[in-house]
Structure 1
């Protein structure tokens, strides 16, 4: 059974989400303290963490930052009343897997959680994607540019999947941000560039090509 950790300072939300997940066949633990939530998130016991941002003491941004620093593969879905693009982009930049605004629809929350807990990640289709000299195993969440497979994070996976699915085409920052992060384009954000840089650090400088003033491309 999949196991999820819910971190929110509102006990009624923790209880409500835990019951809903349990009814859906997903085991869930819940805490109302950011510090305790961080402690549990770092144990590696949970496939997914659902995290509030506005909490007294240690806030959710601090929990997210420290979790990603020590467990970069951990999937974290932010569940917050803060719904501005700047906050969303900042959380995605830190490493959040998904972002849901409060008030939220339970059906949407469950659907997104189920998508993140699928054995082959949040996408369907083939288990192995190839484009040019790149190979990506969608079940193991690894990518190989010829030097052997390396692990990639959820967001790196989604970004590389988008680029490989459009191999040979130039993908603009606007469409990448909309498809991979679910955000409207913000000309001030560099989150796409940051994640392209992370992919290059793992797969090599030429894994993703920059098309000046347009976007990025993976060769077919």
Structure 2
């Protein structure tokens, strides 16, 4: 398995990484919260082992940021913070398991392996495809028929939501909530404007349209027939 270990105690990091490495796992390590979060968001891992007390960004904040970015990599907190409320707080922040220091390495290995078995069903897609339209969520690129499309961040988010819901009619309210995080009607044509701009890039240069308006209902994205 590919494992990310985020631990600022050099001796502990060496011990854990060495043990997991001897068991055949491939390890990346980080000694601070910001470095760990950057690795977690830009590379693919089967499991993450994270200390709670980290310089620059604590473990709780790191995991919350990870979940907010929709990265579902299984996380094991490995920490000396041992109270019941602390464990509950860690799990509610988005961790999948919690192991308190000092620990038996055999238990750590068993927990990591258990999370690794869970990983394939949890791992987030990194490439979305609808027909010849392809979106790379890591590189933040979009192509159609091999041609690169230059999308603004909000256009990218709008298209991502449409691609994840291909074939489904998406109402204006759904788009406002999921793309703009509006839970009220701003009484503007922000949705219509962005859909029009997206169409100009996704559809108009090509022979067949993929984004259609369903009159009185919303919008739907499908591969060309």
* Category of TM-score, reference length = shorter chain: 0.5 to 0.7
**1:38 paired to 2:27:** no
**1:50 aligned partner:** 49
After superposition, where does 1:25-104 map in structure 2 within 5 Å? Answer: 25-104=24-103
1:57 Cα offset (Å): 2.1
TM-score by length of 2: 0.52
Per-residue CA deviation, residues 151-198 of structure 1 (Å, 9 max, x unaligned), is xxxxxxxxxxxxxxxxxxxxxxxxxxxxxxxxxxxxxxxxxxxxxxxx
**What is the alpha-carbon distance in structure 1 between the residues aligned to residue 71 and residue 41 of structure 2?**
10
Alignment of 1:167-182 (within 5 A): none
**Residue 18 of structure 2: aligned partner:** 19
Instruction: In structure 1, list runs of 5 or more residues that go unmatched.
Output: 123-138, 143-220
1-structure distance, mates of 2:19, 2:47: 15
The total of aligned residue pairs comes to 123
In the alignment, the residues of structure 2 paired with residue 105 and residue 52 of structure 1 have an alpha-carbon distance, to the nearest angstrom, of 16
Instruction: Please tell me the root mean square deviation across aligned C-alpha atoms, in Å.
Output: 1.8
- TM-superposed deviation, 1:13: 1.1
Aligned residue for 1:104, secondary structure, equals coil
Q: 5+ unaligned residues in a row in structure 2: which ranges? A: 124-225
Alignment match of 2:121 (pick from 133, 140, 153) = 140
Q: Structure 2 vs 1, CA of residues 140 and 29 (structure 1 numbering), >3 Å: closer, same or farther?
A: closer
TM-score, normalised to structure 1's length?
A: 0.53
Higher radius of gyration, 1 or 2: 2
